[in-house]
Amino acid sequence: MANQEQQQFTIQRIYLKDVSFEIPNAPNIFREEWKPENNLTISTTINGLEQNTFEVVLSVNLISKAGEKTIFVIELQQAGIFTITGMLENERLRLLGAYCPNVLFAYAREIVTDLVIKGSFQQVILQPINFDALFLQHQQELAKRAQDESSRGQILN
């Protein structure tokens, strides 16, 4: 037991990897009365960098529309470099798939709010996201897909 690796989670760096803010219908969009409808999509990518070190990239895409007209579009990638040692595979996956995106989302929310205000629009506050539930749902989908593929393989044999 003496050579069992100690459990450790470290945030090495958090950074804005990419950002885009567009107001495709400016300046005319400012002259119209509208009630915006926001469409938010989020995804996570995990890249292995070296042993026990990973880059997690949270991609956020927010499109605000008034009817058919686009008010603004925000695309950003908030990223972080994390080191995880001494964890079981399922613990490491949960950290990378749920905890790290949750940490990154706090930074992404701030950037979205700042960009919208600097674009001279009313503040947009992104609501919290339960990344634990999303991770669990994703894991269940993967397990079901694996089970379906296994079942199909048995039918074919």
Q: How far from 92 is each of 83, 100, 143, 144, CA to CA, in Å? A: 10, 10, 18, 21
Please name the residue that has the structure tokens 């994390």.
82
For residue 54, the model assigns a pLDDT of 98
What pLDDT digit, counting tens, does each position of 76-111 carry? 999 999 999 999 999 999 999 999 999 999 999 999
For residue 116, the 8-state DSSP code is H
Domains and CATH numbers, the chain: 8-127 (3.10.420.10)
The whole-number average pLDDT for the span 144-155 is 73
| Residue 64: closest CA among 5, 108, 123 | 123
What pLDDT digit, counting tens, does each position of 10-28 carry? 999 999 999 999 999 999 9
pTM score: 0.86
